[in-house]
Structure 1
């Protein structure tokens, strides 16, 4: 199953619908556009694994680029639209990109990129002239190139804990672009997605992230329709489910929190009866939030755990999760191992570093030290998460190793405190970090986004302390609360804790 096949059998079936504008692209149109883009890449000298980069908002042409690359065997490098010109330029140089495709929305950073990368060719959406993407594409034939082969996607980390790093995937075992890939089996057998082309899949997150680009591509392989939101908004998401009769969707816990904070009259306004499967991942979901979502949507809220590195995956369906609250499931791809600092496997219930054993292993581009750091002596791979397995084989995530706070010699994982905070009715978002402290080494700081900033103040801080106290050890209680109207969070739910830690470290340095 592949868009190439669907274009032959169902050319008029919608492959993509933009949720806001209603703009559509059929499988027949996607086929022609993807072929033109593959021709364009070849005309510019692109061969297998040559890289090109995308700095784009969610727009319908994104899939032309994805599927064109998947015929040309090239390396597609999606770039976060949140990054600065120096960060983007670093990725362009590190990936050795031979072309940047962008749009006028990023004119503010493009000047800096051109200065840093003066010899890099640029193609622009929504413009005319020699840099016009539309004109360059239209000049190419819609026939398939003669040497079609599967392409690759190299995703860069969001830089939440340091400089972005490229996750270079292992080359596909079968270069045929229509060959079956592992995620297809996981989607059908694990996530129970339909393979008959009936799926209507809502994608609310930016396509430059791993999950949206991977799962929506699987929807196209299965012949379904991707409904792509231009940007996430909680009520607009509910409206899209009703309007397009969405059957499947992909979320992160932050989306759930935003939707649950909507007024009751908004939450119950839309008909969600078509909705059959709601996947979520990217971060541990607070147990109370997950329970509320299952109560609202029914037992369709299923969870998985994986990483951009693609070495393993766990999954749990709602019914099993209710019997094992907080789990991210059992391994369905790769073999799971939980190890201590000495590399030895830990017994049931003990927290340790999570590894996956798999024959297919990625590398970190231009960073052999980082690759070596992620490898267990036995050849297993970790993405740096801490967790444990229960007696039934279900995995539970504790936090990222890099997020751990050491205060007074005690290891504190912020996720526990954050999960409690966002469960409070008046809290929209929360980040817990370690800030420099002369007495404790690090002190616990809670940076909180209230639902209403008018609540911010000493009384609300005390209310939150009282709320946390029954469920939180004294050493884990935040020493300081900081209220802000917004947190530095990626649209895929990942928090830029590095920015907050750097800010508090700078303040500590100034006051020293």
Structure 2
């Protein structure tokens, strides 16, 4: 990577070549490459005056916006490490993440721990600061993404690469220089953040949605002739009824490549998008933020291997049974992965350790390979599930529940949901609590998508004396009960 310049240098070169090309559009406002480059030079100097330097963490707590992209680019220009977090995150959850690696600066929020300096979301640098180019400097870590921990505590996932991010990442995904790139997922999500980085080094026009809305998504594709995007199955599913209600109102023919990631895609949703865009345009990626290994599958491949998430294109994967034996084709087990031998580490955890078996990592997924080497996902291990493409760990919710003095024991499982894939369902043993009180208590401690959709109460302990619970059996019982006619 030594011959690849850092992202700011690559973007500045693009700005010099086409200064008036649109760089970002958000909420009806557009800034050019020249404006983005100059404004982030000034912003970087302002952050530098607040103490940010090479290798320093800067936590960004902003919604999708032009300001979010400006903050990230300015941090990279100082050699800092951007660490994005949801602007909707409660203070208690934010505080726990900040404790793992206190940042030099927080953008968009005050530090609930009272440790780090902060600037407001509408922070404006002093106009007297220069907007000329800064000396080239490399950030030692491209990004540090946040994730809930399977132990009930959050963790950070540092990228194994620095800010010398190659455009090759985009080319491999079929992205072209100068694409119009629709950002429909949160930029704090690894999908959104990585797609943004690809766009910056390939000179994309980033069309950023402040929040997802189906009509607006389709309108933006039509108006801006969007050619490339990465999204999640929940969004794909929410778009379908709106598009089908009035397909002549929208023109999606410009989309050359649509990637979906982060969660299993219902086959009917996948088929619908192949029918709308054609199989050449619809691609899927399976892997974690950790990037030990990846699978790709094209629409054409999916039509001959329906339900698959593809073949391994980077790193290595295998499926093991509970005893650690490799499963034959067609037999379900836990998916383990590792980087290719001789390559550099792709990630580093802060606040957690990876689940490993002989140097192979597991993300908690169950699945199998077929005879042709195509991977299929069956389910997640019960200690993790996805809500609209975002990972949720029951232990994290249980940890927050257990902080209430009236809670004696608790258990959280993921149950099916037709829109979001799965949602949390909590069972609580407690005195003097009702569902509204529990939800209100958790709302101050957890992001909204982690809140249980239903809370039921038990008169008996939910774990044995060793702290163990029959989580799979409980989940099956809950699902059966909720599907019973008397519950409908």
The answer to whether structure 1 residue 500 and structure 2 residue 452 are counterparts is: yes
SS state at 1:337 partner: strand
Partner of residue 125, structure 1: 121
The structure-2 alpha-carbon separation of the partners of 1:187 and 1:14, relative to structure 1 and needing over 3 Å to count, comes to same
Partner of residue 60, structure 2: 54
What displacement does 1:434 show? Answer: 7.1
Q: What are the superposed Cα offsets for residues 268-291 of structure 1, whole Å, 9 maximum, x if unpaired?
A: 421112121111111000111111
SS state at 1:500 partner: coil
Partner of residue 329, structure 1: 310
What displacement does 1:95 show? Answer: 2.2
- Larger CA deviation: 274-283 vs 41-50: 41-50
The structure-2 alpha-carbon separation of the partners of 1:145 and 1:326, relative to structure 1 and needing over 3 Å to count, comes to same
The structure-2 alpha-carbon separation of the partners of 1:135 and 1:331, relative to structure 1 and needing over 3 Å to count, comes to same
The answer to whether structure 1 residue 193 and structure 2 residue 175 are counterparts is: yes
What displacement does 1:383 show? Answer: 2.0
Confirm or deny: 8 A CA contact 1:17 1:226 kept in the other structure: yes
Which of these residues, 104, 128, 143, is aligned with residue 132 of structure 2? 143
- Distance in 2, matches of 1:281 and 1:227, equals 19
SS state at 2:330 partner: coil
Confirm or deny: 8 A CA contact 2:293 2:315 kept in the other structure: yes
SS state at 1:202 partner: strand
Partner of residue 287, structure 1: 267
SS state at 1:261 partner: helix
What displacement does 1:310 show? Answer: 2.0
What displacement does 1:298 show? Answer: 2.0
The answer to whether structure 1 residue 91 and structure 2 residue 97 are counterparts is: yes
What displacement does 1:161 show? Answer: 8.2
Partner of residue 401, structure 2: none
SS state at 1:58 partner: coil
What displacement does 1:436 show? Answer: 5.9
Partner of residue 25, structure 2: 17
- Distance in 1, matches of 2:245 and 2:67, equals 36
- Distance in 2, matches of 1:222 and 1:511, equals 56
Which of these residues, 140, 157, 160, is aligned with residue 170 of structure 1? 160
The answer to whether structure 1 residue 253 and structure 2 residue 253 are counterparts is: no
What displacement does 1:322 show? Answer: 0.7
Which of these residues, 400, 422, 429, is aligned with residue 431 of structure 1? 422
Partner of residue 76, structure 1: 82
The structure-2 alpha-carbon separation of the partners of 1:380 and 1:134, relative to structure 1 and needing over 3 Å to count, comes to same
The answer to whether structure 1 residue 364 and structure 2 residue 349 are counterparts is: yes
The structure-2 alpha-carbon separation of the partners of 1:340 and 1:398, relative to structure 1 and needing over 3 Å to count, comes to same
- Larger CA deviation: 160-169 vs 270-279: 160-169
Alignment of 1:266-345 (within 5 A): 266-299=246-279, 300-345=281-326
The structure-2 alpha-carbon separation of the partners of 1:338 and 1:510, relative to structure 1 and needing over 3 Å to count, comes to closer
Q: Could you say what the CA RMSD is over the residues aligned between the two structures, in angstroms? A: 2.9
What displacement does 1:301 show? Answer: 1.4
Confirm or deny: 8 A CA contact 2:63 2:86 kept in the other structure: no
Partner of residue 219, structure 2: 239
- Larger CA deviation: 6-15 vs 61-70: 61-70
What displacement does 1:433 show? Answer: 6.3
Partner of residue 447, structure 1: none
- Distance in 1, matches of 2:448 and 2:364, equals 16
Confirm or deny: 8 A CA contact 2:102 2:115 kept in the other structure: no
Partner of residue 477, structure 1: none
Confirm or deny: 8 A CA contact 1:50 1:97 kept in the other structure: yes
- Distance in 2, matches of 1:31 and 1:44, equals 20
- Distance in 2, matches of 1:166 and 1:52, equals 13
Greater helix share, structure number: 1
Partner of residue 4, structure 1: 12
Confirm or deny: 8 A CA contact 1:338 1:354 kept in the other structure: yes
Partner of residue 491, structure 1: none
SS state at 1:382 partner: strand
Confirm or deny: 8 A CA contact 1:17 1:227 kept in the other structure: yes
Partner of residue 130, structure 1: none
Number of aligned residue pairs: give it.
405
- Distance in 2, matches of 1:160 and 1:259, equals 32
- Distance in 2, matches of 1:31 and 1:402, equals 46
Partner of residue 187, structure 2: 207
TM-score (norm 1): 0.72
Confirm or deny: 8 A CA contact 1:152 1:171 kept in the other structure: yes
What displacement does 1:117 show? Answer: 2.1
What displacement does 1:404 show? Answer: 7.5
What displacement does 1:169 show? Answer: 2.1
- Distance in 2, matches of 1:274 and 1:153, equals 31
What displacement does 1:139 show? Answer: 4.2
Partner of residue 402, structure 1: 382
Greater strand share, structure number: 2
Confirm or deny: 8 A CA contact 2:64 2:211 kept in the other structure: yes
What displacement does 1:430 show? Answer: 5.4
Q: What are the superposed Cα offsets for residues 93-151 of structure 1, whole Å, 9 maximum, x if unpaired?
A: 2221121111xxxxxxx5xx55x32242221133xxxxxx2134x34322333351135
- Distance in 2, matches of 1:355 and 1:3, equals 36
- Distance in 2, matches of 1:509 and 1:269, equals 55
Confirm or deny: 8 A CA contact 1:403 1:433 kept in the other structure: no
- Larger CA deviation: 230-239 vs 67-76: 67-76
Q: What are the superposed Cα offsets for residues 154-191 of structure 1, whole Å, 9 maximum, x if unpaired?
A: 1111569833211122243xxxx5x453xx334313x2
- Larger CA deviation: 202-211 vs 291-300: 291-300
